Chains A and B, each alone.
Chain A
Amino acid sequence: MSVLAVAGVTKRFGPNAVLKNVSLALGAGEVRAICGENGAGKSTLVKIMTGLYAPDEGAVSVDGKALTIESPQHAQQLGIALVAQELSLPPALSVLDNIWLGNREVPLFHRRAALRRRARATLDKLGLADLALDTPVSALSIGRRQLVEIARMLTREARVFILDEPTATLSDVEIERIFAALRTLKAEGKSVIYITHRLGEVFDICDTVSVLRNGELIGTRPTSEIDRGTLMQMMLGRSMSEMYPRWEDKSDGAMLRVKRLRVPPLVHDFDLVAARGTVTCLAGQIGSGAITVLRALAGLIAGATGEVSVQGTPMRLRSVTKAQAVNVQFISEDRAGEGLFLRLNAGQNLIATKLREHCRFGILLRGKLRSVAAGLAAAVGVDRTRLRSPADELSGGNQQKLAFGRWIGSDRPGVLLMNEPTRGVDVGARAEIYRLIRQFCDQGYCIVMASSDIEEVLGMADVVVSMYRGRQVARYRRGEVDMQRLLADITHPVAAA
């Protein structure tokens, strides 16, 4: 009998079906990996298992009994503990308080000594012996926060432990400690669900692996019976060439030069040269500094220093207006939080940056703006009928296209910086976005892209710059690097020979 199972689970967000009829069952003492590319539905499935979402169809069962998991508290009661992909540590609390936050077994009048001892023991096990229990979480790096989050999970009396991409920001040593902790759990008869992109880990620690693709379960196999190639085939399901547009060399002279870019403590002495008509990808995981580099170039970071020039003209950092003045445009990785105006409609979002050009004496030329919006929508492939819909009603793919559409249509193609351009976008829309990126390239834009999705980097980039912990590891031209090498670069680079 399975400890935790889902049967026929379907989940929709608006018009998108994120999970379609997914069924799987987890046994006691089993370490199951769940793999799939971005947008396959892994995080959603796990959120259903932990009471954060309710399935639209299908059921979750614990110990063979079907029931509805109503809330994270209920999930805790049932013995399910989660380390979510987005950190869930309220920054105002200390490490100690965060570890015990929401733990049902903490009595009202807690005896702090006992709690401190147990928290200390768990932290030591994870290699954080030097971390004081009373440190406010806001003072910790992302990697350490991740470990605190895992410590919280380990202090829960649970039977099923779910980890969603837990190692993205961790070093090898730290990862090995987590594996040791997971092996102990397994020996105690507990079950683990482990979601990861990193195929090496699947074979290191997991007994079985389930693959999701586009919201559907492709299959579940013991790790002893398959190899990496088969796993990747299951995950991708198609050849890379169908996804990524054909490439032609349109490179046309250096456009962006960056020297000694520094954003303490995240980026150290970063240099970059990017040519017009090319796509340069900064490949790196969370914490590698790739996203920070682009945000600094966009003028959004107050503490950035360095020398930047665009087509020979020097550009000042730390100011969005100065960046836009030399035609450096930015598409944020945080679409909802920083990219779009969700309550405005699609058309208004598209023309958000074009108001000055189409107004007279401060009064908007609304008719003109409407036709401009229609033109931009057509250029990026957003249906005209959706122009009047509020932006938050559009799918992730359409929303990303809006973000793109904002920056095209100016007569002087400039530098286009984009962070994680296909985050939260389903597979179908992603191909369209890749096509758009190529289109911009052909029009003469210089595209610099930061991505943690290796496959996307390899498919799109003319130049790949791999990054680790704020520094460049290596620079490759198209065709000079493969997935293995790139993955190694961004997860545990060997010092260059």
Chain B
Amino acid sequence: MSELAAPRRRVRRLFGARQLGLIIRIVAGAAIAVFALSTPGFLTPLSVNALLTAISFVGCVAVGMTFITLTGNIMSLALGATVSASALIFLASLSLGVAPAFLIAALFGTVITAAQGFLVGYFRANPILVSIAALSLLLGAAAFATGGHRIYPGGAGIEFFKGRMGAVPVNAMFFFATVIVGQFVISWTRMGRLMTMVGSNARAAIAAGIDITATVTVAYAMAGACAAIGGVLLAARYGSGDMELGAGYDYSAIAAVLVGGTGISGGSGSAWRTLIGVIVIAVIEVVLLLRGFSEQLQYLITGLIVLSVIMLHTLGERRQG
């Protein structure tokens, strides 16, 4: 049934699709690298720093989104709001100390998103619909709790996140740690393997005796934790926050996930790939900036490149549908 091939799709088969996809990816990557390295000012400490900081925020959310996409649940439109809400909770809890505030924020993000995962896993409710519902609920609850005011730090300690450890900004350290932990979970733990299997074929997972509810709930919980970390980093960066803080991060995150090569239909993906996706997008943006392209052209070209890369990736994969 999956072999229902229209004549025009023969083109893909003729060229050994998987090899072609890999070659295209390598060529594209090399092109971007050359483009970047040949840009004056790209390798300066200032620009590298800016790059690292920029990718840390989106990157954390993107790693989280990877878990959701991996399990075949496409994306969540609530991660951006989760980022903002976690940031607000972090700021408000700073009176209890930095570490407790961080943990409380992380716990919040984890629980809120895990609840969505439970609904998606147990009832097989539609993930996009559940995320939209969660988005509304988060926005409403936050508006109620904050009364519309900006939230300022309730205590000291934010400076830690703005600092550096040696040459690397703390932000970036958190991001890389998130990537490493995320990748470890995906490739080296049983739960991560279960997530990949559920995303590849949920029916086969059921027949094999896998507990879909638990697997999806844990995947969403990881996503929530990552989003919360991103929220904390953002809160520290801006020193105050409201629900606009994380707005739009859902799109940036899923773009990074797709550009990195994780399949939208689930069952194949990794945190490494998302890291690459985040870096590629950020490098393109920085290079365009340094080469003097106007902000508008930056948006346009980035958009076109994202579209092209997504198209390129699927040249090497079959469509599941």
Q: Which residues of A contact B (CB under 8 A)?
A: 13, 52-54, 68, 70-71, 86, 298, 300, 320-321, 324, 330, 332, 334, 336-344, 348, 352-353, 355-356, 359, 362-364, 366, 392, 406
Contact = CB atoms under 8 A, between A and B. Distances in A.
Interface string B175-190: 0000000000000111
B232 to A, nearest CB: 26
A362 B197 contact: no
B197 A52 contact: no
B154 to A, nearest CB: 36
Given A70-B7, A363-B188, A332 B207 contact: yes
Contacts of A338: 201, 203-204, 206-207
A233 to B, nearest CB: 31
B190 A324 contact: no
Nearest to B318: A392
A54 B5 CA distance: 8
Nearest to A52: B4
A300 B10 contact: no
Given A355-B193, A363-B188, A364-B189, A342 B209 contact: no
A300 B207 contact: yes
B190 A339 contact: no
21 contacts: A300-B207, A320-B206, A334-B203, A336-B1, A338-B201, A338-B204, A338-B207, A339-B207, A341-B196, A341-B200, A341-B204, A343-B267, A344-B267, A348-B193, A352-B197, A359-B189, A359-B190, A362-B189, A362-B190, A366-B188, A392-B318
B123 to A, nearest CB: 14
B3 interface: yes
Nearest to B200: A341
B208 A352 contact: yes
Contact of B190 (A53, A298, A364, A406): A364
Nearest to B203: A338
Contacts, number: 83
Given A340-B204, A342-B2, 16 more contacts: A298-B207, A320-B207, A337-B201, A337-B203, A338-B201, A339-B207, A341-B267, A343-B267, A344-B197, A344-B200, A352-B197, A355-B193, A362-B189, A366-B188, A392-B318, A406-B208
Interface in B238-289: 263, 267-268
Contacts of A300: 206-207
Nearest to B198: A341
Contacts of B201: 337-338, 340-342
Which 7 A-B pairs rank lowest in CB-CB distance, beginning with the nearest?
A341-B200, A54-B7, A343-B267, A338-B203, A359-B190, A324-B209, A343-B200
A363 B7 contact: no
Contacts of A362: 189-191
B91 interface: no
B1 to A, nearest CB: 7
A68 B6 CA distance: 12
Contacts of B10: 54
Nearest to A71: B6
A113 to B, nearest CB: 36
B189 A339 contact: no
Interface string B286-321: 000000000000000000000000000000001000
B216 interface: no
A231 to B, nearest CB: 30
A53 B5 contact: yes
A366 B194 CA distance: 14
Contacts of A359: 189-190
Contacts of A352: 197, 208
A355 B188 contact: no
A355 B215 CA distance: 14
Nearest to B206: A320
B206 to A, nearest CB: 6
Contacts of A332: 204, 207
B255 to A, nearest CB: 22
A343 B190 contact: no
A337 B10 CA distance: 23
B70 to A, nearest CB: 11
A321 to B, nearest CB: 6
- Of A52, A71, A336, chain B has the most CB atoms within 10 Å of the CB of A336
A363 B204 contact: no
Nearest to A86: B1
Nearest to A12: B13
Contacts of B2: 336, 342, 392
B209 A341 contact: no
Contacts of B191: 362
- Of A54, A344, A406, chain B has the most CB atoms within 10 Å of the CB of A344
A409 B285 CA distance: 53
Contacts of B211: 321
A344 B268 CA distance: 8
Contacts of A324: 209
- Of B6, B194, B204, B267, chain A has the most CB atoms within 10 Å of the CB of B204
A71 B318 CA distance: 20
Contact of B188 (A334, A343, A364): A364
A13 B1 CA distance: 12
A51 B304 CA distance: 35
A380 B209 CA distance: 22
A13 to B, nearest CB: 6
Nearest to A54: B7
A407 to B, nearest CB: 10
Contacts of A54: 5-7, 10
Given A54-B10, A336-B1, A340-B201, A363 B189 contact: yes
A46 B2 CA distance: 17
Interface string B87-106: 00000000000000000000
A261 to B, nearest CB: 19
A7 B5 CA distance: 21
Contacts of B209: 320-321, 324, 353
- Of A52, A53, A343, A353, chain B has the most CB atoms within 10 Å of the CB of A343
A366 B189 CA distance: 10
A321 B209 CA distance: 6
A320 to B, nearest CB: 5
A34 to B, nearest CB: 20
A387 to B, nearest CB: 16
B267 A364 contact: no
